[in-house]
Structure 1
């Protein structure tokens, strides 16, 4: 701290969320701007503190606003290269920063090429360089043919720094990322079982017994109920049953269920965890905050896979989350261009399935959680500390702790925000949340001690002048 030319950022506030505490407390956080690391946390406002004579100190006083760790969104589709018109690193990470997200973990699809080889990962990293307003890490992909063989790509991808692998048990929707068979899974799990990585599953399995409605059986394609019947909960139940059965053969490998929507799968998850299987589960903001009962006809912006289900299902997911069966919450930000959403036709069955959320997650959970007695420390646990651990970033991100990155947000819990198209910062401004009034607003976002978003400025200035200082993790 006394080295010549030291630059410090000190954030002081009356309501700071520190690790291991349910309650907010007065504290002052000191970040070394040259390293971006938290070097000291003082309990209280540090009144009368005098900096070293050779230090350049920037003070940030949050007052009564909340000071929270930056969020880690562990499930984001940024789509670049190849589908940059859907989303890209520049727009996607700016949108993330506007919602208090300081780290995103990018999914291996829907970019072209997908992140299934080291060569493809290098193309992804090259596209991201100099464009990121948050830090970015990467998941790799498991597809038929890239597992254990003389030309296997999984362990080389691990060596190259990816955080884990995602696969689909049902068609993904893009040709370059086909789903895997049970045989493919066995090859992959055998290859990865002695590593510290994680295998992520899109857990829907379409079998002859699944009960899924086929296109020729459907009725009005503009009704959400038609789509809901085509993706019944049994698809998730069958998939998770297969995963937990296979996992018994490879108990050292952590398996993870992405975007759980079916509450009827919770008993299987409970039994797996009780049996000691190394299984983790996520759900998404839209499954916790939206209900199929309220979706009007002809509104494809609500379509995602697996689907948003009924209000009673939503309530059971909340119970699973608060009870620990579901480990954390992510966005699954999965945008596309307007034409693929079939908005003019209102054709839900033909529309691209994906919901755009970046920038809104914290406000969504705070608004919905208030109806359920949820505290801010629980929300941050689900969206920051546990997601950081999941992605292998727990030694860098997710908590306000000495030695970790100085990622934090100043949060106004009482502000109301109107979600409009103009307020969205991602590329294609299509979202089921447009028109909602939400509680809670990110006032400022800091990445490694540097300001990357400021909502106190005019809308056209909130991100202007900010440099894309995000790193590839």
Structure 2
């Protein structure tokens, strides 16, 4: 029996319930006091069937899709310290505009990084009162911070990120094999996961041109691509899977896999029973090196976007379960660090800005390959929640879960627009426009100008509307919790 004094009702003809392969008629009932789903009805409910529910607590999605809120398990919000790059206020608004209701923040590029409990508390203090999504936190493994790891687990971090190659920021140095043994020994019996930026620079990657010159054009995307070959990833994953044999109880996770050549290593490790999970990113599935113009540093990320054939192999690995989930790796910076003035890709900061676009990007590309919306939700909500230790409350529409849901029109199309400053427009050849579809702080993204399929109508966090395509963010404000 629905408690009309403590319920919000969302009904529709196409609701993607937990365990379902396709949307179906259903109704979800959410307690407004707890924010949890209290009942699921396998029927589209008519308004007259619940006369006690007030109009402001009644949502009929009609033929639009009702999906669980997405969980983006790889986001750089950069606050405090580099808040001019991104911050909790702008980053979580951007996430909510794309149907994301939970983000997991990376331990860098904030200052300080999340490598001690004190640093975690500084980040939590900066986040409070600013978040339009719920936010969880990854910790960091750097050389000699082993004494801080278990206290960070106790303080609530969902796992730990480390780099096997220089991270790009001095305060988060990479680790070597000796450091990894120390960290893995410390973490092997803890309820946690160790995440790897899996590039290992075992040999020089200097490139020579056909005429013997050793300084290829830094504005050519091919120059950057050749500087980060797939062997960096395969060497790193070979090391990781070898180390796992000594610490078999510790789950390890490969972040932002780009190299299809590493898939055989991953499959072999899993055949041996190794606890290894893998993510890839929207940009590796939706962009191709073959189509990237020269002198356009907004396409730079590490590892790099690779060729179209590589992209198709990643899609196949995602569909067969070799790759577990898809994340944004939203890693923005200020425009000055992107070398827009001279198009020097080699010197530019590496990072793709994506928050708010992921669901539409995957739907646009995935439907070309026969991918269903239930598969996409599994990769971007169910599996990401499981990876981040949030699968008991996030990533599904089911009784007992948080009432996080989105209403989505799969048939809508929109052009990705940004308010490009005039000084950028002459460099990027974009026209200055009056309407924008990007809500993150620095409006530079390789997706600007693309037309995408599927659009968020509204986003709800624990039954509260945090974003509406017409009204924006005016409904409830920053009600996100720190998980």
TM range (shorter): over 0.9
Give the Cα–Cα distance (whole angstroms) in 1 for the partners of residues 2 and 23 of structure 2: 30
Task: Assess if the C-alpha contact under 8 Å between 1:7 and 1:57 holds in 2.
Answer: no
Give the secondary-structure state (helix, strand or coil) at the position aligned to 1:423.
coil
Task: Flag the 1:214–1:100 CA change in 2: closer, same or farther, 3 A.
Answer: farther
Task: Flag the 1:143–1:66 CA change in 2: closer, same or farther, 3 A.
Answer: same
Q: Confirm or deny that 1:467 pairs with 2:466.
A: no
Q: Which residue of 2 aligns with 1:31?
A: 30
Q: Which residue of 2 aligns with 1:430?
A: 444
Q: Which residue of 2 aligns with 1:50?
A: 50
Deviation at 1:2, TM superposition (A): 7.1
Task: Flag the 1:241–1:388 CA change in 2: closer, same or farther, 3 A.
Answer: same
Structure 1 portions without partners, runs of 5+:
none
Task: Assess if the C-alpha contact under 8 Å between 1:100 and 1:445 holds in 2.
Answer: yes
Task: Assess if the C-alpha contact under 8 Å between 2:464 and 2:476 holds in 1.
Answer: no
Give the Cα–Cα distance (whole angstroms) in 1 for the partners of residues 5 and 473 of structure 2: 27
Task: Assess if the C-alpha contact under 8 Å between 1:295 and 1:302 holds in 2.
Answer: yes
Task: Assess if the C-alpha contact under 8 Å between 2:253 and 2:276 holds in 1.
Answer: yes
Describe how 1:57-68 pairs up with structure 2 within 5 A: 58-68=57-67
* CA deviation string 1:370-423 (max 9, x = no partner): 110000000000000000010000011000000000000000000001001121
Give the Cα–Cα distance (whole angstroms) in 2 for the partners of residues 173 and 464 of structure 1: 37
Give the secondary-structure state (helix, strand or coil) at the position aligned to 1:30.
strand
Deviates more, 1:416-425 or 1:171-180: 416-425
Give the secondary-structure state (helix, strand or coil) at the position aligned to 2:196.
strand
Give the Cα–Cα distance (whole angstroms) in 2 for the partners of residues 367 and 405 of structure 1: 28
TM-score, scaled relative to structure 1? 0.95
Q: Confirm or deny that 1:200 pairs with 2:195.
A: yes
Give the secondary-structure state (helix, strand or coil) at the position aligned to 1:426.
coil
Structure 2 portions without partners, runs of 5+:
419-435
Give the secondary-structure state (helix, strand or coil) at the position aligned to 1:104.
strand
Q: Confirm or deny that 1:363 pairs with 2:360.
A: yes
Q: Confirm or deny that 1:11 pairs with 2:10.
A: yes
* CA deviation string 1:310-366 (max 9, x = no partner): 000000000110011100000000000000001111000000000000000000000
Deviation at 1:57, TM superposition (A): 6.7
Give the Cα–Cα distance (whole angstroms) in 2 for the partners of residues 6 and 313 of structure 1: 54
Describe how 1:263-412 pairs up with structure 2 within 5 A: 263-412=260-409
Task: Assess if the C-alpha contact under 8 Å between 2:279 and 2:324 holds in 1.
Answer: yes
Deviation at 1:51, TM superposition (A): 5.4
* CA deviation string 1:82-118 (max 9, x = no partner): 0000000000000000000000000000000000000
Q: Which residue of 1 aligns with 2:88?
A: 89
Q: Which residue of 2 aligns with 1:110?
A: 109
Task: Assess if the C-alpha contact under 8 Å between 2:466 and 2:475 holds in 1.
Answer: no
Task: Flag the 1:414–1:271 CA change in 2: closer, same or farther, 3 A.
Answer: same
Give the secondary-structure state (helix, strand or coil) at the position aligned to 2:336.
helix
Give the secondary-structure state (helix, strand or coil) at the position aligned to 2:49.
coil
